[in-house]
Amino acid sequence: MFILRIAPVQAIVLRAITWREKDRLLVLLTKERGKIFALAQGAQVPQNRLAPATQTGAIATFWLARAREFDRVTDCRIEQILTRIRQDILALTAFSVVAELIELAVPLEVSDEGMFSEVLWFVKRLEEGLSPTKWLVATQIRLLWRLGWMPHLLSCSLCGAEIEKEQVPFAPSAGGVICESCQVHRKPADTQFYSIAVLQAIYSLWQQPRLIETLHLRPTLWQQALTLLRNHWRYHTEAENKAWKVWQQIASIRAFPFATRKIQP
C-alpha cells in the first residue's frame, strides 16, 4: 500500500534551482531536518501558488511529502521574503557565499536546531541593513565553530602559548595561529601573516556575534579577516566557493568605482 506522509518544516531557502522546465529544486536549511533538498513542482510558473515562497532567501514553512528522489513541496506558508538581497548585489553575494558554504559543509538530513536558529538570526541582521563585509566575517566564524573547524586565533595552535606579536602567522593546516618558538620548528606551506587586530576582531565576533553592530575596524583589516576565513574554509571543504569570486569582483569595483577596468572574460 502507498502511504503519503506529509510533514511541515520551518526553512530558509538557501538556493532555488530551475529544474526541468517548470519546477524548482530547493536547497533548504530546516529546523527539523537540517539541510535537505525538496522539489517544488510547477514553481517556475509565475502564477503558481508555490512561486513566491520558493525563491532564494525566502523564510517559510513547507509541507513536504516523502518521495523517492526528492521530497515534494505540497504546500507552503511564507514568513518573510528577504528583499535586501534583491536590491543590493553585495548583500546578495554575501548571502550566496554563506549559502554555498552551508551547502558544501553541512551534512544532509542531520537535524541541528542551534545552527538553524543562528543562520536565521544572521539572515535577519543582513536584511536589517548590516554591512555585508562585517556580516560575512561574523557568520563564517560562527559556522566554522558549529562545524567543529574553529581555528586557534589568539593562542598558538601547536603549543597553546598566547600570541602577542603585531603580525601573526596563521596556517589553516596547523589549525590556526603559530607562535614564534613553534615557528622555528614548523612553518606550514599555507602560512600567511595577519594583523593581531584582525584575529582579535574575529575572536570577538565569535564570542559575541551581536558585536557586528558596533565593532569597528579599518576596511583593509576587514578584507584581511575575509581572506583568513576564506583560506580556512578552503582547507576544510577542499573546494573553491564560486560566490567568493563574484564577491571579489564586486568589492573591487566598489572600492574603485571610477577606475578604468579591463573586464576579465
Residues that bind Zn ion (CB under 5 A): 156, 158-159, 161, 179, 182
Q: Least distance in Å: CB of 138 to Zn ion?
A: 27
CA distances from 230 to 45, 160, 224, 245, 263 (A): 37, 23, 10, 11, 24
Q: Least distance in Å: CB of 156 to Zn ion?
A: 3
Q: Which is nearer to Zn ion, 179 or 198 (CB)?
A: 179
Q: Least distance in Å: CB of 158 to Zn ion?
A: 5
Whose cell is 549559502? That residue is 99
Q: Which is nearer to Zn ion, 170 or 233 (CB)?
A: 170
Q: Least distance in Å: CB of 171 to Zn ion?
A: 12
Amino acid type, 213: E
Q: Which is nearer to Zn ion, 77 or 186 (CB)?
A: 186
Q: Least distance in Å: CB of 151 to Zn ion?
A: 14
Q: At 194, phi and psi to the nearest 5? A: -130, 155
The x, y and z cell numbers of residue 257, run together, are 568605482
Q: Least distance in Å: CB of 161 to Zn ion?
A: 5
Nearby residues of 204 by Cβ (< 8 Å), 6 or more positions away: 211, 215
Q: Which is nearer to Zn ion, 57 or 169 (CB)?
A: 169
Q: Which is nearer to Zn ion, 182 or 225 (CB)?
A: 182
Burial of 14 (0-12, 13-18, 19+ CB in 10 A): buried
Return the bridge partners of 61, or none: 10, 77
Q: Least distance in Å: CB of 242 to Zn ion?
A: 35
Q: What is the dihedral of CA 36, 41, 43, 49, to 10 degrees?
A: -100
- Provide the 10 A C-beta neighbour count for residue 81: 16
Q: Which is nearer to Zn ion, 123 or 163 (CB)?
A: 163
Q: Least distance in Å: CB of 149 to Zn ion?
A: 20
Q: Which is nearer to Zn ion, 67 or 159 (CB)?
A: 159
The x, y and z cell numbers of residue 148, run together, are 567543529
95-127 burial string, b = 16+ CB within 10 Å, else e?
A: bbbbbbbbbebbeeeeebeebbebbbebbebbb
CB 199 within 8 A of CB 177: yes
Q: Which is nearer to Zn ion, 137 or 156 (CB)?
A: 156
